[in-house]
Chain A
């Protein structure tokens, strides 16, 4: 392990560049382009630049490879709508949209989220005007303490973008990866079933 650290130090600058490049270029690579065999492509250990596209803004931060997307958002970018609850992909409080699909930000590395469009709950009400899903959550009291709320709002948002008129069963299915402890499910069901068309 100490060897790994030494290896990284020697190649720190190159490693940083390649790490960012590889991730940024991911869509092309996925279509079959190949990186040169000899390209140095290790990033870290230790802080490396990571560029995240969050709510339409690209920001580069210096974080260790081990930093999750959730921790990068919350404690490096001060975007705190996504909450840390179970930190193990079991509760949904950290839900964000990645290229439009809901994911658990706690179970993904920030460095692996480069090149993806990340949407957090903060993006849904630009200028303070609540979107349809948010309005429905307010109208049906789909929240109590509010700690699970951004996760539920985003899971509902993702559902309603795909399926503007979900059935009751489809609502339950779409929200079954989120947990609430206060027991706001009654309001959440109504809100997700009632919000026309989502955001």
Chain B
């Protein structure tokens, strides 16, 4: 890790001002569990690190006009423990609880999880976000077992690493983003984009923008997250799925399924048309899961992820409906 100048601003305005002083050399620091590791590996080398730990607006869980607002710097452990979150979005609690380490859950934050960088081992070993060498994809010629099976037609082959993004996208959450002058709102899914060139980001935040909070809508759909991990202990999932169901008298009125770890972005599939008007059953869940993976384009060595993701999707839908997967 290279040394840097460190600041702990107490306000969003001050944080943005510090960033503007050195826009190309600054990084915001949340829980640090991802950024510090990449700095140690010289993958990211900021000259200025701006901690967001002392900004009050970024913390806390509160209800506002029926919606639930969770500060971006809220540790995942607090999210899991919150009765408000538990009551409103089991999929989010389950997703956060899938990070099997009390230590990480005490340190890692909601915003940090959403903005963590891909786990692509080419990226992490210094070959760039797209993992290219001499104009060719190292992933395509190499070890692709954990890479994307959807949305991978372009040069980005990495898989979106966030554990909680699928749950938030499925729940129709919005993000509150401070842009230096005020707060703008965006759909959770719009945080993510698929870069086409190495210098592009996989996030849609403009330079210096700060993720302030996540806003869960007032509606309380039935929801669940299903992760498939190799290890029961701390591990990144092979594939994951979060499902939210709007149920009316036990019948599906709306169904949002989001796959994680399978595409460069959280992969939203609206399966309402397949499931609407009926109670969700094994057959429906299977059909919806198959539809979600229908267009999968696995790479040479990760075809197994299609199967894993399909099973995760089916089990998440069934769990959301309160049925054992």
A50, B5: Cα distance in complex, Å: 14
A37, B3: Cα distance in complex, Å: 25
Q: How far is the CB of A148 from chain B (nearest CB, A)?
A: 13
Q: Which of A27-35, A51-59, A122-130, A188-196 contacts B (4 or more CB under 8 A)?
A: A27-35
A197, B140: Cα distance in complex, Å: 53
Q: Choose among B14, B48, B54 the residue with the greatest number of A CB atoms under 10 Å from its CB.
A: B54
Residue B250 CB within 8 A of the other chain: no
Residue B179 CB within 8 A of the other chain: no
Given contacts A45-B4, A66-B2, A112-B32, contact A103 B37 (CB under 8 A): no
**In the complex, number of A-B residue pairs with CB atoms less than 8 Å apart:** 147
In the complex, what residues of B have CB within 8 A of residue A108's CB?
32, 36, 107
Residue A85 CB within 8 A of the other chain: no
In the complex, what residues of B have CB within 8 A of residue A121's CB?
none
A15, B8: Cα distance in complex, Å: 12
Residue B1 CB within 8 A of the other chain: yes
Q: Are B54 and A177 in touch, CB under 8 angstroms?
A: no
In the complex, what residues of B have CB within 8 A of residue A43's CB?
5-7
In the complex, what residues of B have CB within 8 A of residue A4's CB?
4-5, 22, 25, 47-48
In the complex, what residues of A have CB within 8 A of residue B234's CB?
90, 176-177
Q: How far is the CB of A53 from chain B (nearest CB, A)?
A: 17
In the complex, what residues of A have CB within 8 A of residue B6's CB?
19, 42-44, 48, 65, 109, 111
Measured CB to CB, the nearest residue on chain A to B101 is: A177
Q: How far is the CB of B40 from chain A (nearest CB, A)?
A: 7
Q: Are B101 and A44 in touch, CB under 8 angstroms?
A: no
In the complex, what residues of B have CB within 8 A of residue A104's CB?
33, 103-104, 107
Residue A141 CB within 8 A of the other chain: no
What residues make up the interface of B, taking CB atoms closer than 8 Å to A? 1-11, 13-14, 17-18, 22, 25, 29, 31-33, 36-37, 39-40, 47-49, 51, 53-54, 56, 59, 77, 100-104, 106-107, 232-234
- New contact pairs (12) apart from A101-B102, A111-B6, CB-CB < 8 Å: A7-B5, A37-B17, A41-B18, A43-B5, A43-B6, A89-B104, A102-B103, A103-B107, A107-B31, A112-B32, A176-B101, A177-B100
